[in-house]
Amino acid sequence: MSDKSSTGLRKGLTSYGDSGFSLFLRKAFIKGAGYTDSALDRPVVGIVNTGSAYNPCHGNAPQLIEAVKRGVMLAGGLPMDFPTISIHESFSSPTSMYLRNLMSMDTEEMLRAQPMDAVVMIGGCDKTVPAQLMGAASAGLPAIQLITGSMLTGSHRSERVGACTDCRRYWGKFRAEEIDEQEISDVNNQLVASVGTCSVMGTASTMACIAEALGMTVPGGATPPAVTADRMRVAEQSGVQAVKMARERLTIDKILTPDAFHNAMRVLLAIGGSTNGIIHLTAIAGRCGLEVDLKALDRMGRDTPVLVDLKPSGQHYMEDFHHAGGMATLLRELKPLLKLDALTVTGRTLGEEIELSGAGFAQDVVKTRDRPIYPQGGIAVLEGNLAPGGAIIKQSAANPELMEHVGRAVVFENADDMAQRIDSDDLDVAADDILVLKNIGPKGAPGMPEAGYIPIPKKLAKAGVKDIVRISDGRMSGTAFGTIVLHVTPEAAIGGPLAHVHNGDQIRLSVSNREISLLVSNEELAQRARDEPVQVPTAGRGYRKLFLETVTQADKGVDFDFLRAEHITGSTPTME
Ligand code: FES
């Protein structure tokens, strides 16, 4: 800690026009909580408390805070916990994504406004980790991500179940009238067996693995379940490490480099991770002045096999991944594909951490590169006249028979239209049609909700249809599966070609050619654009106004334009 005037409680003094008085007053107030001068002279480690009664995914926050504080004090620092917004998927209307950027602003500004030399950020549920990494990247402090950890799996009539792939599977059975009211009510008690994040490779688990791959957690920080001793040890280590980072001024810009994002994208592909991971990584990279090169990401996908056998792409749950050695096992297997010189929060490189993790042991969750779950990365990037700015498909969770397909468009104008008609017996739809849902993009819904997982129309579900090609400008939960094209850019609400798809148009999906095309001539599309001008959504006041006026498209991470770095200085991943 070199310059005492800019560290600890002296940092970021409130403006009263007299810095001596500002510090005197600050100390007087904090002493009201019983602190001594000796305590107040130590490196200050902020702890972002995102505990909330509305967020059971963060239900272990009190225990985590206690463990982080213990670590900070063991290392000679002063822990100071403080709240920020907390976001849970099921308690955020209209959608959690609408609030992610707000949480990132809250995180950034509280990290700037309050005196701290380093910060430990407790996050877990889908949008919280990206929001915290975005905010911390902009604030520029030494920062560690502490993941809350996954929930335990439950048991329904002797079958192992967990949120939320099994939530969707059982709901699908109920919709198809394969199970009755009593059974759907019984399984509702078992899907979430403890506090913690969803137990499959959904967005929360994906972001946990990405955070570790970025070097932003202590080694082994991604996988311990929320209610385990391992998770509490990770919290204690995070506290110890934060003090070390404060002393060494190991700021976040030294960790979130192009190489770190390269590693995170490798991991995203190899875990069969959530498609949301791309949007969040794009947003975090944007805060660091880096553009995500979707074409390079697709090339990376072609030589990155899916190795982690977790639902929804595979069989297991997050706690099994932890028992199999967690991220150390995966990183060891991916080593030839990683940028090993990338720095982590320990001050050591990722390569050094892989060496320190030892030789590994026999297990059946992380496969070897010569015997993968899926030969290519889980996510493919599509292009074509329907998505000039790109679209994606999670091919590892798609039906191989539908990945090369031409079909007739069955169009829903927005989410309400779909809700009203999807289960109607009158809906003109067949199993080889393509469902198109418009206006669920960043501005359209707004907030780009996870409504891209369009349900199978009831009459097809009852006839035994399990999958159908679906296309939208929205997102999909990481726990969902199916042949589903997402993030169509530009979105329908700002006049993207998706806005002008008509019922009965032919659409071609070719994952092998990375193509999503509307088989309608350019002249016809231009005529439709003139005949059907779109009304871009607006709002009169408040956060919604800010959101609609400044939110970017999926290829910019759906961040607000004024929150991205002022200058873009590079791109990632870097594929030779
Ligand atoms: Fe929080 Fe799934 S709802 S992680």
Rounded to 5, what percent of the chain is helix, strand, coil?
40, 15, 45
pLDDT in tens, 380-436: 999 999 999 999 998 888 899 999 999 999 999 999 999 999 999 999 999 999 999
pLDDT band of 14, cuts 50, 70, 90 = confident
Phi, psi for residue 46 in degrees, rounded to 5? -75, 145
Which residue owns the Cα nearest ligand 1 atom 1? 125
Provide the 10 A C-beta neighbour count for residue 2: 7
Question: Could you tell me which residue, 93 or 1, shows the higher pLDDT?
Answer: 93
- DSSP H or E stretch at residue 109: helix 96-113
Q: Are 85 and 93 in contact (CB under 8 A)?
A: no
Pocket test for ligand 1, best of 50, 87, 88 (most atoms within 8 A of CB): 88
Tell which atom from ligand 1 comes closest to the C-alpha of 164.
Answer: 2
Pocket test for ligand 1, best of 58, 122, 197, 207 (most atoms within 8 A of CB): 197
The residues facing 121 across adjacent strands are 48, 145
Residue 409 gets which letter from DSSP?
A: E
Ligand 1 geometric centre to CA of 275 (Å): 15
Q: Is the pLDDT of residue 478 over 80?
A: no
pLDDT band of 4, cuts 50, 70, 90 = low
Report the alpha-carbon distance of residue 471 to residue 454 in Å, rounded.
Answer: 9
Q: What was the pLDDT predicted at 576? A: 66
Ligand 1 geometric centre to CA of 458 (Å): 27
Report the alpha-carbon distance of residue 432 to residue 101 in Å, rounded.
Answer: 38
Tell which atom from ligand 1 comes closest to the C-alpha of 202.
Answer: 2
Q: What was the pLDDT predicted at 574? A: 82
Ligand 1 geometric centre to CA of 477 (Å): 10
The answer, as to whether pTM is greater than 0.85, is yes
Every domain of the chain and the residues it spans: 42-152+194-356, 154-188, 380-537
Phi, psi for residue 154 in degrees, rounded to 5? -110, -175
pLDDT in tens, 232-278: 999 999 999 999 999 999 999 999 999 999 999 999 999 989 999 99
Write out the E strands in 346-491: 379-384, 387-394, 404-412, 434-437, 469-472, 484-486
pLDDT in tens, 293-342: 999 999 999 999 999 999 887 899 999 999 999 999 999 999 999 999 99
Report the alpha-carbon distance of residue 487 to residue 391 in Å, rounded.
Answer: 5
pLDDT in tens, 514-528: 999 999 999 999 999
Average pLDDT over residues 478-506: 94
Largest CA distance in the chain: 76
- The answer to whether domain 42-152+194-356 and domain 380-537 are alike in fold is no
CA dihedral (62, 229, 55, 223) positive or negative: positive
Which residue owns the Cα nearest ligand 1 atom 3? 89
Q: Are 120 and 68 in contact (CB under 8 A)?
A: yes
Q: Are 374 and 367 in contact (CB under 8 A)?
A: no
Report the alpha-carbon distance of residue 382 to residue 387 in Å, rounded.
Answer: 8
Ligand 1 geometric centre to CA of 498 (Å): 30
Q: What was the pLDDT predicted at 575? A: 74
**Closest to 48 in 3D by CA, of 74, 75, 85, 73:** 85
pLDDT in tens, 531-560: 999 999 999 999 999 999 999 999 999 999
Mean pLDDT rounded to a whole number for the chain: 95
Segments in 126-228 forming alpha helices (H): 128-139, 165-175, 181-188, 203-213
Q: Ligand 1 site: residues with CB under 6 angstroms?
A: 57, 88-90, 125-126, 163-164, 197-198, 202, 204
Average pLDDT over residues 448-473: 93
Report the alpha-carbon distance of residue 98 to residue 102 in Å, rounded.
Answer: 8
pLDDT in tens, 173-208: 998 889 999 999 999 999 999 999 999 999 999 999
pLDDT band of 15, cuts 50, 70, 90 = confident
Pocket test for ligand 1, best of 52, 57, 99 (most atoms within 8 A of CB): 57
Ligand 1 geometric centre to CA of 18 (Å): 47
State the SS3 of 453-490: CCCCCHHHHHCCCCCCEEEECCCCCCCCCCCEEECCCC
Write out the E strands in 214-305: 290-292
Average pLDDT over residues 280-291: 98
Q: Is the pLDDT of residue 353 over 60?
A: yes
Ligand 1 geometric centre to CA of 370 (Å): 33
Q: What Rg do the C-alpha atoms of the chain give, in angstroms?
A: 24
Q: What class, spelled out in words, does domain 380-537 have in CATH?
A: alpha beta
Pocket test for ligand 1, best of 54, 100, 126, 194 (most atoms within 8 A of CB): 126
Structure tokens given for 549: 């006026």
Q: Is the pLDDT of residue 446 over 80?
A: yes
Phi, psi for residue 57 in degrees, rounded to 5? -65, -20
Q: Is the pLDDT of residue 2 over 50?
A: no
Q: What class, spelled out in words, does domain 42-152+194-356 have in CATH?
A: alpha beta
Report the alpha-carbon distance of residue 512 to residue 497 in Å, rounded.
Answer: 22
Q: What was the pLDDT predicted at 480? A: 76
Q: Is the pLDDT of residue 158 over 80?
A: yes
pLDDT in tens, 124-144: 999 999 999 999 999 999 999
Report the alpha-carbon distance of residue 394 to residue 507 in Å, rounded.
Answer: 18
* Secondary structure class of 205 (helix, strand, coil): helix
Ligand 1 geometric centre to CA of 422 (Å): 26
Ligand 1 geometric centre to CA of 306 (Å): 23
Ligand 1 geometric centre to CA of 204 (Å): 6
CA dihedral (203, 118, 235, 64) positive or negative: negative
Q: What was the pLDDT predicted at 1? A: 42
* Secondary structure class of 89 (helix, strand, coil): helix
Tell which atom from ligand 1 comes closest to the C-alpha of 479.
Answer: 2
For residue 520, the one-letter residue type is V
Q: Is the pLDDT of residue 3 over 60?
A: no
**Closest to 135 in 3D by CA, of 90, 81, 84:** 84
Residue with tokens 């390269």: 262
**Closest to 419 in 3D by CA, of 461, 463, 466, 451:** 451
Q: Is the pLDDT of residue 513 over 70?
A: yes
